[in-house]
Amino acid sequence: MGVSMVFPNLPVADVKAATDFYVGLGFTINPMFSDDSTSCVVVNEQVAIMLLQTERFQGFLPEGAETIVGGNRHESTTALLLGSTEEVDEITAKAEAGGGRIHRPAEANEFGMYGSAFDDLDGHLWEVFYMAAPEA
């Protein structure tokens, strides 16, 4: 099986505010797949984040399933591998400036990774990290 793209779908309370947050991180919007209730945030050629107004997101769930936006309940964290420690610092600063909550400042760990973690405006968890290629 060859997966050519990944589309994380995230429920958001305010599509415009969420879109502004992700554009502030340096990503772009694909207008072909965006409207008043949905925003397609292009991360790169293989990843596009779909920001869906809560009601629209609910339409993709099984009947009776509950959409949770914000709060202190989390199902997953999305991690993005970046090209340098400087990019980690830059995205982290942009996330905080855009209203995101930094819950792990950028730091190196014992595995040789340098990264940080933050919540977006709707409480979705993100990690950005850099890991140098292992030496042969």
- Tell me the mean pLDDT in the region 84-97: 97
When the pLDDT of each residue in the chain is averaged and rounded to a whole number, the result is: 90
Higher pLDDT, 122 or 41: 41
**Binning pLDDT at 50, 70 and 90, where does residue 62 land?**
confident
Using an 8 Å Cβ cutoff, are 5 and 48 in contact?
yes
User: How many angstroms separate the CA atoms of 2 and 112, rounded?
Assistant: 29
Extract the runs of DSSP E, i.e. beta strands, from 7-133: 9-12, 28-29, 38-42, 48-53, 77-81, 101-108, 113-119, 125-131
* Residue 17 pLDDT exceeds 80: yes
Tell me whether the CATH fold assigned to 1-61 matches the one assigned to 73-135: yes
pLDDT tens-place string over residues 105-132? 999 988 889 999 999 999 889 999 999 8
Amino acid symbol at 81: L
* Residue 25 pLDDT exceeds 70: yes
- Residue-range domain boundaries for the chain: 1-61, 73-135
Alpha helices in the chain (DSSP H): 15-24, 54-58, 85-97
* Residue 63 pLDDT exceeds 90: no
CATH classification code of 1-61? 3.10.180.10
Note the pTM of the prediction, 2 decimals.
Answer: 0.83
CATH classification code of 73-135? 3.10.180.10
